[in-house]
A and B are shown apart, each in its own frame.
Chain A
Amino acid sequence: MEHGSYADNSNATFSLTDEDHTLANAVRFSLNQDPRVSFCGYSIPHPSDNRVNIRVQTTGAPAREVLKDACQDLMMMCQHVRSTLDVAVADFKLRNPPKEDEDTDMK
């Protein structure tokens, strides 16, 4: 859900349901590193509501697009983290083969 004005789409608050600090803090991190963002922050209005509000103010670009890009960046980072971990674990297992093989067939 987006709360913004029709005249000026560079400032908006996005209200995400069923999310918490996990996503909001990560998105804020990636928004902060976008040079188009002049302000961003998030709040959880009430701890028993499953909702976060993410505020985005930009220097001109539509806030909606900037937030989308931030999520996109986050996804790319996640993908890279995943592939890096897979390589590191495979490397480690190659160097230190497990003593018994019973655990490996779980995967």
Chain B
Amino acid sequence: MAKKDQRMSETETEEEETEAESMSESESGSEEQKQESKGGGIDFIMSLPDVPRNVPPHVELQRTRVFANIDAPTHTDSIQYSGAFASVGLDNSFRLDQFRNNFRVEVIRFSDDGMDMEFDMIGIDPALANAFRRILIAEVPTMAIEKVFIANNTSLIQDEVLAHRLGLIPISVDPRLFEYAESNAPNERNTIVFKLHVQCAKHSEEEKGQSKKKKDEKKVPPRITVKAKDLKWLPKGSEFYLESEDSNSNSTSKSKTYTSFTCSQDSLPEFSNIKIGFKEPLDDINIARLGPGQEIELEAQAVKGVGKTHAKWSPVATAWYRMLPEVVLLEEIEDEDAETLKEKCPVGVFDIEDIANGRKRSTVARPRACTLCRECIRGGEEWEKRVSLRRVKDHFIFTIESTGALPPEVLFTEAVKILESKCERVISELS
């Protein structure tokens, strides 16, 4: 019994500490008042430390926050186990209605071209947030150049390097309009064909007719930069004929090309009002530089794929999240100390406000900008006691940078759908 009492009192003192720590001092103050005023009632009993209505505040703090201490972060794990708080009579099991009530999404910004997006996901476990991120990078499909048929390449860049460069160019087309090629022959439903034929003149025209004298004045030889926009979409499929068909071209109808399109892609209703190709500014990507007399002639076939096969199919430049930083001043920081604190932070998290009698006080103005560099708690133990750096465990600042095939919000929706279909697969396999 004595031991239990001791533990209880320990909890109490810890509670007081954390309450003093938390920003909402006014709240904790009013709670104490309640406790005093309603002595004896049910509220009083409920407020006793061994009758928890909720997880005790210090545990709640450890449950929901990562503490970034000077040496290492603490309380980094998320508590998932349903019986984690069974000893204090609390149920930690999952309830969908609770999730529905707590979950929020707040869009923070879109870039001007609508291809970058930042949003806050609040009230979700890292297991899910990370699943979405992983799917965005590796499992949301896009179209990318997979096969390159090079008829002629006299440029400096080697065939295989050229093919690799072509593969990495993002194509602005909705991948949902296409099927996976798998082992099927390339047809109008699974392949996009591009043609590239560029040639750099040996001499510019006027140069040819010029007198010898003029030629001597060093002229810059012609150069061509091949850009992504030089790739021309071939809606009717490949224009290269298969060699074997050429040699015994007797009764077999028309000679076959490298694709077997049954109709032109632009006659299909899905493609009727879109132009497959490279959207600005992505059409300005350099592919090669050609010197005088050099030439590239090739055909490229783009197919649908996912990022885990090859990064060229990843629909995002990157997708990442970070937990919301929380910077809390544990005590009033005034005058010179306030100035020092403001100086310490390289991203300007702290600000200074004037209080009465010409005195100054630190405030946390932009906690979201905090990078957790911990500069503000360096420089002696006293600073560790003044500032507490935390991260909110279930608040994710999610950023998606699309490469242009689909806008980021659609990509995210697709990612969530993919996770759903994974679950569905497991369910159907088990039943």
Contacts and interface: CB of A to CB of B under 8 A. Distances in A.
B94 A33 contact: yes
B427 A72 contact: yes
B91 interface: yes
A82 B409 CA distance: 10
B125 interface: yes
Given A27-B426, A32-B82, A81 B125 contact: no
Contact of B100 (A27, A68, A80): A80
Contact of B127 (A25, A64, A73, A76): A25
B94 A73 contact: yes
A33 B134 contact: no
Given A34-B82, A80-B100, A106-B406, A23 B422 contact: yes
A82 B103 CA distance: 11
Contact of A85 (B81, B113, B412): B412
A11 B424 CA distance: 22
B106 A88 contact: yes
Nearest to B422: A23
B320 to A, nearest CB: 15
A103 B420 contact: no
Contacts of A86: 409, 413
Interface residues of A, number: 48
Contacts of A84: 103-105
Interface in A86-103: 86-89, 91-92, 96, 98-99, 103
B119 interface: yes
Contact of A71 (B81, B93, B427): B427
A13 to B, nearest CB: 13
B430 A29 contact: no
Contact of A103 (B113, B128, B138): B113
A81 B103 contact: yes
Contacts of A88: 104-107, 119
Contact of B407 (A2, A29, A78, A107): A107
Interface string B103-122: 11111001011110001010
Contacts of B74: none
Given A25-B127, A85-B105, A103-B114, A33 B82 contact: yes
A41 B72 CA distance: 27
B105 A71 contact: no
Interface range on chain B (Cβ under 8 Å from partner): 35 or more
Nearest to A74: B423
A89 B427 contact: no
B255 to A, nearest CB: 38
A30 interface: yes
B157 to A, nearest CB: 32
Interface string B409-422: 11011001101101
B134 A21 contact: yes
A19 interface: yes
A73 B80 CA distance: 14
A107 B410 contact: yes
Given A26-B128, A99-B112, A32 B81 contact: yes
A77 B96 contact: yes
Contact of B417 (A22, A74, A82): A82
A22 B416 contact: no
Nearest to A96: B110
Contacts of A87: 105
Contact of B430 (A67, A74, A85): A67
Interface of A: 2, 14, 16, 19, 21-23, 25-30, 32-35, 37, 64, 67-68, 71-82, 84-89, 91-92, 96, 98-99, 103-104, 106-107
17 contacts: A2-B430, A22-B422, A28-B80, A76-B96, A77-B96, A78-B417, A78-B420, A81-B103, A81-B128, A84-B103, A84-B105, A86-B413, A88-B107, A89-B107, A91-B107, A92-B110, A106-B407
